[in-house]
Structure 1
């Protein structure tokens, strides 16, 4: 039986397969023809759902970031959900490191801009000064991208040379880590938020408002 003339697969299924190929074989392995072969359809059929391969890359990236979501309520403390989103972003990058080069171009590719717009809006509604919203968002995104890129490169080190013998102290501390990477990222994300806020209020000649836990302790 020949292949169907029309694509019998969904957009979601196409993105799931595309993400699997990227994860397992890298960005260069993904092509319209390869996707068609994997889905048992003509590659040209995929243009029913996507304008180009770039649109598939965008869709695969958005699928990988499915857990990074702005709350639909104002009840959650903004520091908590913003840092939680940064952690989820870092987790997604660690799970899909081959997408990091694509997400480095997130803005020009318009990946997740609707979600980022919702984040900026909710932060403003929750009383975060507009002048500090973009520094907070950019700082956390840069931290997640940099951390994930470094950690992925370190994990990919095959260790085929004798670097361990030549660098015994580095090898020793690498094997004796007392704080997990996940915890380190969480601590750095919290510190980054505090540091950006402190800088904003200092530059404005204002005292930073007490955080909720500080208010509770004071009471």
Structure 2
């Protein structure tokens, strides 16, 4: 008898390429904690509201603001300290079985893995954090972080780099993304993109499927026609 998973194999994509934060994981609270811990260590003026104000901005820019507020380290060292905190916190949560996966994300990733479809994690986060998430998930064949490319989302380079690493045709891959820049990156690369509304609405566009949660998707929904 054919396995229900393998029954889908003929129509499945050549690969599934995942965005990390906002799609697979919710690490934002871990970054907020890292900022507040550093500020307290140096007696710097940094409230929860300050941390919220820099959400979605480049980490080096946040580090420069923290340095200006009194964190007596070079911005690059601040970045390294925050990266280590987030990576270690994620790994600890994963060991305790409470990694911050978005609803339905890890279940879908594991189903894709069981079906024999390769997967890549493609993120604008630093490699140290990406590796912590990838190791916790245990399903990714390739990891592409901001440290691995010269051009970032919305440029197509991150997804093209992942496709090359997997040895697949990006036009036969599916990208799972939540942000406008990530969706633009995947589409510019030539992949089929599914937008996931985890925090903000996704703007409809021709050829773009939008779901409210990854729990809505099955293996059949990832099929390439």
Name which structure has the greater RCO, CA cutoff 8 Å, separation 6+. Answer: 2
Considering fraction of residues, name the structure with more strand: 2
When normalised by structure 2's length, the TM-score is 0.31
Higher Rg of the two aligned structures: 1
Q: Which has the higher helix share?
A: 1
TM-score normalized by structure 1? 0.31
